[in-house]
Amino acid sequence: MKKTILITGASSGIGRETAKLFQQKGWNVIATMRNPQDETELTQLKDVLVTKLDVLDLSTVQNAVAEGLQKFGKINVLVNNAGYGAYGPLESFPREKIIRQFNTNVIGLLDVTQAILPHFRQNSDGIIINISSIGGKVTFPLGSLYHGTKFAVEGISEALSYEVEQFGGKVKIVEPGAIATDFAGRSFDFHNDESLTAYQGTVAAIFALIPEMTQNASPASLVAEVIYEAATDGKNQLRYAAGEDAKAILENRKQLDDTAFISSMKAQLKLN
């Protein structure tokens, strides 16, 4: 019987590439996004349901899961991919932007997961794949909000893995490095207040580093392949690094203590 995957944030980047890859591999795909009316490519593909899911709107979450089940009968894999990065000095952020970052990357992920867990439990299987980041294990300056959400995703995923194991389910975490998507465009919410002069040296240092980071970025299709591996390898492996830069940075973080790692980060950014 054909397997079915539900993907959040499938309108671009990693979500879109994952939808296309699983469809090519013969899966049914529930490709969810905030504005499905704008989608033209995925709607042409066989066995792909394009439907609305905004992780900030619980009714769309429940409707998307129900619609997917109605069309395909069963969901085997959930990919929690929807998210964005809020960067900038914490002091400069209005509270509503702080809440939006956590609501999107953490509460939204929990809402989608809760909506699908009863189905997985009743079927005694199901794989939840949460898209984290190397930013769930290491931090860059100005990322207190984004890294806060991704560290949360890591903890949620690891703890949840014990629960779903009780009925035969699995949780997997995919940790990409720099990815050539529009993350630095529409998925990047940078906030700054130039009157906060104490932080402007750090802001300048981070912006100087962005071209170097994106130069070595992996294509989104590479992350899609790692997601496919996590969904199909049958292993009890919890974490999957995606991209050579991710593997190198995560390995480096394992080897160094906090002081050494933070010192190396400061040296790289030319911070005092």
Question: Is 87 one of the catalytic residues?
Answer: no
State the amino acid at position 161 in one-letter form: S
d(CA 218, CA 198): 34
Catalytic residue among 146, 199, 228, 240: 146
Annotated active-site residue in 3, 20, 137, 150: 150
Terminal-to-terminal C-alpha distance of the chain: 59
How many angstroms separate the Cα of 166 from the Cα of each of 122, 125, 162, 171?
12, 10, 7, 12
Write the Ramachandran bin of 171: left for phi over 0, alpha for psi from -120 to 50, otherwise beta: beta
Task: Give residue 142's region: left, alpha or beta (phi > 0; psi -120 to 50).
Answer: left
Q: How many CB atoms lie within 10 A of CB 247?
A: 14
- Most distant CA atoms of the chain, gap in Å: 60
CA atoms within 13 A on the CB side of 117: 14
How far are the Cα atoms of 29, 246, 262, 263, 269 from residue 255, in angstroms, in the given order? 39, 14, 13, 14, 20
Q: Write down the catalytic residue from 11, 132, 133, 218.
A: 132
In the annotation, is 150 catalytic?
Answer: yes
- Please, what sign has the CA dihedral across residues 83, 190, 214, 256? negative
Distance of CA 210 to the CA centre of its chain: 20
Active site residue 132: yes
- The residues assigned a catalytic role are 132, 146, 150
